[in-house]
């Protein structure tokens, strides 16, 4: 559960095979955001590649849930990687 406020000039990557929730009233203001229930290797991440693979033990109920406000800065991106994604909040991004 991500509650409260998160701000960064960089891309934030959060991985949890059981799911990730941005809580009601939470605010996230970042250049880029990846929320994932699928794993990736340290080697790929260090090389700037995010290759996601579901791992053994992935919860069948694993989901990315946004109930807050996610703001992606110009030139950034958001990726929600899971078997289920629920957006009950707001995602703001300039295309």
User: What pLDDT, on the 0 to 100 scale, is given for residue 54?
Assistant: 79
User: What pLDDT, on the 0 to 100 scale, is given for residue 56?
Assistant: 75
Global pTM value? 0.89
User: What pLDDT, on the 0 to 100 scale, is given for residue 12?
Assistant: 93
Long-range interactions of 83-86: CB distance < 8 A, separation 24+: 83/37, 83/54, 83/58
pLDDT in tens, the chain (95 residues): 899 999 999 999 999 989 999 999 999 999 999 999 998 888 888 888 888 887 777 777 899 999 999 999 999 999 999 999 999 999 999 87
């Amino acid at each position: 559960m991500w509650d409260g406020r998160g701000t960064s000039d960089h891309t934030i990557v959060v991985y949890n095979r059981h799911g990730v929730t941005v809580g009601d009233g939470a605010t996230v203001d970042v250049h880029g955001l990846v929320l994932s229930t699928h794993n990736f290797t340290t080697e790929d991440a260090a090389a700037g590649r995010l290759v996601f693979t579901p791992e053994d033990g992935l919860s069948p109920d694993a989901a990315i849930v946004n109930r807050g406000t996610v703001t992606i800065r110009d030139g950034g991106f958001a990726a929600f990687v899971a078997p289920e994604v629920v957006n009950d909040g707001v995602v703001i991004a300039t295309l």
